[in-house]
Amino acid sequence: MNLQTDRPGFIRLTASDRPGMAQPVPERDIPARPWGIILLIATIMFVILVAAWEHYWRDYGATPSYQNSKGAWADQRRRIDQGEGNTLVLIGSSRVLFGLQLPVWEKAGGERPIQLSLEGTTPLLAVEDLANDANFNGRLVIGVAPDLFFSGFAYRGDVVAQYHTQSPSQRVGYWLSKHLLEPYFAFYDPDFALDTVVKRQAWPPRPGVRGFMPVRKLMVADANRNAHMWSKVENDPVYQNMAQRIWAQRFAGPPPPMMDTPEKMQALVSKQIGRAADAIAKLRKRGVQVVFIRMPSAGDYYAFEQKAFPRATTWDVLLQKTNTPGIHFEDYPQLQGYTLPEWSHLSHAEADRFTAAVVPIVQQIFAGAPKQ
């Protein structure tokens, strides 16, 4: 079946050349090339290239880490539906995701929570999801990052929805990735994907297009979604400064259209508080205890939050309308004075220390809160 390369202008016939008739068994040609040698050379080159790529990223400071994928979230979420519905669950944004350390919590509190926080995403999607799931009867710690919670912004909103439509193929794919790739390859991280790397090269700016730097890699995670800050953010001043500049983009520009007037802003905040109140009411009917937590922030980020989402019109109203206890870091001396290398997240060591400090407070609130 080798190709007759001496036929000039050769075209393999297709059904388009044979109207209205039975189509024969297709003809497939194989170019007369030494395919064994070609594939051998290609494989060797491929291995060398991948090894070089891996070396580059390890040299950059990356280490193999588990991806914070949809599959990983679904894996933890599934635990609630498979017999662990009475567990303590943490739902917040990135501050809770890598600010509260599960091993420390387990040591200090006697139980290891399920971590369902999603970076850049309002926790309300996951809270509403649990509120509608009769299997969940545990306790809930809800993280409040003001700019995400009160805007309803959901960078990874599809993650929650996908749990309910996850196909067997996706579950197997997640399992394979978790066991065969993620523990071994540092480059296997969305922040090091080819298109992401190409996008963040120094392209000349196009007049009229706002060059918005997307958030870079800030954390590493283990197989069960316990995450902590990436050491490069803690130790590399250049990277740390870049992370701060990325946050600072939010502080400088005009507010997004849905919050560019005080009226719109108020309506948006009220809407989110209403969502929270509805979800918590459903949870309470099943005896679920809930506590809000406002994790620390610092520097310009803290200043921005103070200005755009003042406590009196957001946090305080949230607690009052939902009739729910809350832990604001400003209210507890033991939750203040931590190091936040890029203003928004605790460093690894500080996250350990913070978790150890916050667990007794959470326990105290849960112990004192009357069961509904």
Partner 1 sequence: MVFNSLTFVMFFVVVLALHSMPFKWTTKKVNLLVASYLFYAAWNPPFIILLWISTVVDWYAAQKLVHAEKPAARRAWMLLSVVANLGMLSYFKYGHFLLENFSLLMSHIGVAYQAPQFDIILPVGISFYTFATMSYTLDIYLRRAEPAKNFLDYALFVTFFPHLVAGPIMRPTELVPQFVEPRKATPEMLRFGLALIVLGMFQKIVLADSFLASAAEMVYDGRGAPGALDAWIATLAFSGQIFCDFAGYSTTAIGVAMCLGFAMPDNFRFPYAAVGFSDFWRRWHITLSTWLRDYLYIPLGGNRHGEARLYLALVLTMLLGGLWHGASWTFVVWGALHGTYLVIERLLRRQFGGYQPGAFTLFLFGLLTFALVNIAWVFFRAKTFGKAWQILTGMFGAADKAAPILPTMQLVTVALIIAGIVFAHWQLRNRTLESAVAKVHPIVIAVVLAFMAFAIVIAQGDSNAFIYFQF
Interface pick for partner 1 out of 76, 177, 231, 244 (rule CB under 8 A): 177
Q: Which is nearer to partner 1, 43 or 334 (CB)?
A: 43
Residue number with CB closer to partner 1 (33 or 285): 33
The contact pattern for partner 1, residues 201-230, with x = CB under 8 A and - = no contact, is x-xxxxxxx-x-------------------
50-79 residues in contact with partner 1 (CB under 8 A) are 50, 53
Distance, CA of 120 to CA of 128 (rounded, Å): 17
Is-contact 240 233, C-beta < 8 A?
yes
Q: Which of 187, 239, 292, 315 binds partner 1 (CB under 8 A)?
A: 187
Q: Which x/- pattern, by CB under 8 A, does the window 121-160 give for partner 1?
A: ----------------------------------------
245 binds partner 1 per the rule CB under 8 A: no
Beta strands 88-91 and 114-115, pairing class: parallel
Q: Which of 198, 238, 252, 312 binds partner 1 (CB under 8 A)?
A: 198
Binding residues for partner 1, rule CB under 8 A, total 68
Q: How many whole angstroms separate alpha carbon 96 and alpha carbon 227?
A: 9
Q: Which is nearer to partner 1, 15 or 303 (CB)?
A: 15
Looking at 76, 137, 162, 170, which residue binds partner 1 (CB under 8 A)?
170
Closest distance to partner 1 from the beta carbon of 230 (Å):
18
First CA to last CA distance, the chain: 77
9 binds partner 1 (CB under 8 A): yes
Beta strands in 92-216 (DSSP E): 114-115, 139-143
Closest CA to 228 of 347, 112, 83, 117: 347
Tally DSSP H helices, then E strands, for the chain: 15, 7
